[in-house]
Amino acid sequence: MNTIDLRSDTLTLPTREMMQAIAETKLGDDVYGEDPAVNDLEVLSAKMMGKESALFTASGTMSNLIAVTTHTHPGNEIILGDESHIFWYEVGGVSAVGGVVMHTLPNSETGELDADMVSETIRPKNIHYPDTALICLENTHNRCGGIFLTQEYTKSICDIAHSYGIRVHLDGARIFNAAIAQNIPVSKLAGDADSVCFCLSKGLSAPVGSLLCGNQEFIGAARKRRKMLGGGMRQAGIIAAAGTVALQTTVNRLAEDHDNARQLALGLSSIPGISINPEMVQTNIVLFETPEAVPAAEFVKRMEERQVRLLCFGQRLVRAVTHRMVSSHDIAEALNRIEFLIMKL
Ligand code: TLP
């Protein structure tokens, strides 16, 4: 029985073309700005995002940490969703390292923050209050099931922020999924935000890395912050070379992952006891609830025994993510194995 690993799109292994680029790339010391492969990747990334400049970092977590701490000062407040990745999964880094207070607002089912609530939450000048310095959005939204934000929505929040002199950072770890799902250039989704980061190491299949993009002044400061965090990586072209190939060859195929996610969602919706709304599956993340009597942790463990790997995301919530290493045939097989387990419960 083959293993069908749906825990995350971070599991994708590099393509042959990426391995070839890694073997053949010219290298230099990136702390001196002399690694040609890193420089090429940063130029291409900035161009695709419609920003002046870009910075290669080790991970999405590092990009978010650098972005938030570059936009803020210790004691500042940032506004972000209570389901956001920065709040849930980044070890409280922005508070621990940046001394920043996280003011969360409820994320709607569609990963949005309510615009009126955002306006009301921005602090007026008062000697007692921390200064609100930044709003963070996430596109696609991981904990909201890979749902995408539209360009119009992002612009509406950026307009509010900018009218108060506040900046917006967009955690676009999967922003290419959002762009492909809406059939628009990714630069449109990123355009209004002051900074955006995206991951190479998820659906795009590169082994390592993330890019933080913004204007030249911001990226200059971010570069120094990266150095402070120990993120100055010398011959980083070894990994950047694969990143460039990822941007050139794997963006359009994300549509296939979205088709497979829809196939999975529709299949799950016809299995008695499983709760899912297939309408909410827009990209490559599928969230579903286990039958009432079966905790998600138990379900995930039993599926693991049947070689289908999933993530427990809550009491009864399970996450499955489609990606390049999983075919439509694998999805059909995963559905068979899930149905078989449910029938035996
Ligand atoms: N998300 C991972 C886990 O941390 C949950 C995953 O498997 O989905 N922003 C968003 C929206 C993310 O989903 C992730 C990774 C990150 C940032 C952090 O990226 P990395 O893992 O490169 O630090």
Q: How far is CA 38 from CA 54, 163, 342, in A?
A: 10, 35, 48
In a shared domain, residues 182 and 64: yes
Q: What is the pLDDT of residues 314-343, one digit of tens each?
A: 999 999 999 999 999 999 999 999 999 999
Which residues are near ligand 1 (CB < 6 Å)?
Answer: 8, 10, 59-61, 64, 85, 89, 138, 142, 171, 173, 199, 201, 210
pLDDT band at 186 (very low <50, low <70, confident <90, very high): very high
- Tokens found for residue 137: 């959005």
> Which of 199, 228, 249 lies at the terminal end of a domain, its last residue?
249
pLDDT of residue 345: 81
Work out the average pLDDT over 260-271. Answer: 98
pLDDT of residue 217: 98
In a shared domain, residues 239 and 339: no
Q: What is the pLDDT of residues 188-201, one digit of tens each?
A: 999 899 999 999 99
> 279 in a domain, yes or no?
yes
In a shared domain, residues 127 and 276: no
Name the residue of 6, 7, 10 to mutate for ligand 1: max ligand atoms within 8 A of Cβ: 10
Give 111-114 contacts, CB < 8 A, sequence gap 24+.
111/81, 111/83, 111/138, 111/139, 111/140, 111/141, 111/144, 111/147, 111/148, 111/149, 112/149, 112/153, 113/79, 113/80, 113/81, 113/137, 113/157
In a shared domain, residues 193 and 174: yes
Mean pLDDT of the chain: 98
Going by CA atoms, what residue is nearest to atom 20 of ligand 1? 60
> Which of 229, 249, 269 lies at the terminal end of a domain, its last residue?
249
Going by CA atoms, what residue is nearest to atom 18 of ligand 1? 60
Q: Whole domain around residue 116: which residue ranges?
A: 11-249
- Rounded Cα distance between 69 and 63, Å, is 10
In a shared domain, residues 138 and 242: yes
pLDDT of residue 142: 98
pLDDT of residue 211: 98
In a shared domain, residues 67 and 54: yes
In a shared domain, residues 218 and 275: no
Q: Ligand 1 centre and the CA of 345: distance in Å?
A: 33
- Rounded Cα distance between 134 and 156, Å, is 15
Q: Ligand 1 centre and the CA of 128: distance in Å?
A: 35
> Which of 249, 266, 288 lies at the terminal end of a domain, its last residue?
249
- Rounded Cα distance between 139 and 177, Å, is 9
Which CATH number belongs to the domain containing residue 281 in this structure?
Answer: 3.90.1150.10
pLDDT of residue 1: 87
Q: Is 265 a residue whose pLDDT tops 90?
A: yes
pLDDT band at 290 (very low <50, low <70, confident <90, very high): very high
Q: Ligand 1 centre and the CA of 201: distance in Å?
A: 10
